[in-house]
Amino acid sequence: MEIDNHTKPRLVAPMFAVKFFCKALPKHVTLIEVGPRDGFQFEEKIVPTALKLEIIMRLVDAGFEHIQVASFVHPGKVPQMADAEKLLIALAGIPGVSFSALALNMAGVERAISSKLAHIEVSISASNRHSLNNTGMSADAALKMGLKMVALSKRNGMHVRAGIQCAFGSGYGDVISEDRIAAMAKDLVTAGADMLCLADTTGMATPLTIHQLLCSVRPVTGDLPIVLHLHDTRGLGLVNVMTAMSCGISHFDTALAGMGGCPFIQGAAGNIATEDTHYLLSSLDIETGLNLSKIAGCSRDLEFFFGKHFPGKLYRHCA
């Protein structure tokens, strides 16, 4: 893979890095499993609803309290998510777990309301070209609609996570400033979002840009929890986790075995792997409340189902 001038990481001064990584790390980190949504949607082979339910319930048994299980998108564009309503009906009433789904437009929010969903992610892109490819709307139009989506979701009693895609760059060459991301975050928070997610959709984030963007966004989010959704396209996924934790972040999206990727990003790689992230945190004595071997068992069964290896490193070796 060639790395052009838009994706070359800037060098960080060694003393900056030493000072940065000596900051206190959290004692507990919440991992939000997104494999049943972000992971499955990237695969061509359709996962039967029964298998989705089996995997999700095994993830619950492994200790997950937050799982993103579906997206309310056009079934013609993402057929893997065509059973979203059916899946959520089957999961209704299971205690102790927050099942969430993603929506990209008002129609998605309306479907979520009809499904009596309690937790929704309203997700919009900071990149104009990515937004056009992903939703058919410009980034400005998507933001305006996103604010209405947040408001409608809140009026219907849902917990809203507002997601900003391409927060660290789009790969299309358009410049996305930290000020723009901060302004979008402020609008979403003002609209009523309960949580903010910064998504490294293209895997372009570096330790320095993680630090810089969080410094720009934090003043407008206050005490609102921030989630990082990181991809490992350029191999910096777990390094970026370390950086984010040093900045006070304790919520991360992860996917089984490193599954996933955006269908509208050329060369997209998977999310940071749940098992690999768990291992990193465990090596630092950071609690997650999760059972690594049970998670890895799910990944191995999915590897058999899809007939392929995933990019995660540990799932094949955890008995």
3-state secondary structure the chain: CCCCCCCCCCCCCHHHHHHHHCCCCCCECEEEECHHHHHHHHCCCCCCHHHHHHHHHHHHHCCCCEEEEEEECCCCCCHHHCCHHHHHHHHCCCCCCEEEEEECCHHHHHHHHHCCCCEEEEEEECCHHHHHHHHCCCHHHHHHHHHHHHHHHHHCCCEEEEEEECCCCCCCCCCCCHHHHHHHHHHHHHHCCCEEEEEECCCCCCHHHHHHHHHHHHHHHCCCCEEEEEECCCCCHHHHHHHHHHCCCCEEEEEHHHCCCCCCCCCCCCECEHHHHHHHHHHCCCECCCCHHHHHHHHHHHHHHHCCCCCCCCHHHCC
Q: Does position 8 have pLDDT exceeding 50, yes or no? A: no
Cα dihedral sign for 129, 269, 271, 226? negative
Considering the domain boundaries, does residue 98 fall inside one? yes
CA nearest neighbour of 106 among 118, 86, 122? 122
Looking at the 3D structure of the chain, how many domains does it have?
A: 1
Q: Does position 189 have pLDDT exceeding 60, yes or no? A: yes
Considering the domain boundaries, does residue 18 fall inside one? no
Residue 262 annotated as catalytic: yes
Considering the domain boundaries, does residue 296 fall inside one? yes
Query: CATH code at 218?
Result: 3.20.20.70
Contacts 24+ apart (CB under 8 A), 279-284: 279/314, 280/238, 280/241, 280/242, 281/29, 284/25
Q: Does position 28 have pLDDT exceeding 90, yes or no? A: yes
Among 3-17, 104-118, 160-174, which stretch is predicted with the lowest mean pLDDT? Answer: 3-17
CA nearest neighbour of 49 among 77, 85, 75? 85
Considering the domain boundaries, does residue 3 fall inside one? no
Of the residues 247, 262, 298, 318, only one is catalytic, namely 262
Considering the domain boundaries, does residue 1 fall inside one? no
Considering the domain boundaries, does residue 68 fall inside one? yes
Average pLDDT of the segment spanning 158-171: 94
pLDDT at residue number 127: 93
pLDDT in tens, 193-236: 999 999 999 899 999 999 999 999 999 999 999 999 999 988 99
Q: How far is the C-alpha of 253 from the C-alpha of 265, rounded, in Å?
A: 19
Tell me how crowded residue 294 is: count the other CB atoms within 10 A of its CB: 16
Query: Position 119: which residue type?
Result: H
Q: Does position 159 have pLDDT exceeding 60, yes or no? A: yes
Note down the domain range covering 200: 23-317
Higher-pLDDT residue of 162 and 319 is 162
Q: How far is the C-alpha of 225 from the C-alpha of 8, rounded, in Å?
A: 30
Considering the domain boundaries, does residue 16 fall inside one? no
Residues belonging to the chain: 319
pLDDT in tens, 238-274: 999 999 999 999 999 999 999 986 555 555 568 999 9
Q: Does position 91 have pLDDT exceeding 60, yes or no? A: yes
Per-residue exposure over 183-211, b if at least 16 CB sit within 10 Å of its own CB, e if not:
bbbebbbebebbbbbbbbbbbbbbbbbbb
Considering the domain boundaries, does residue 75 fall inside one? yes
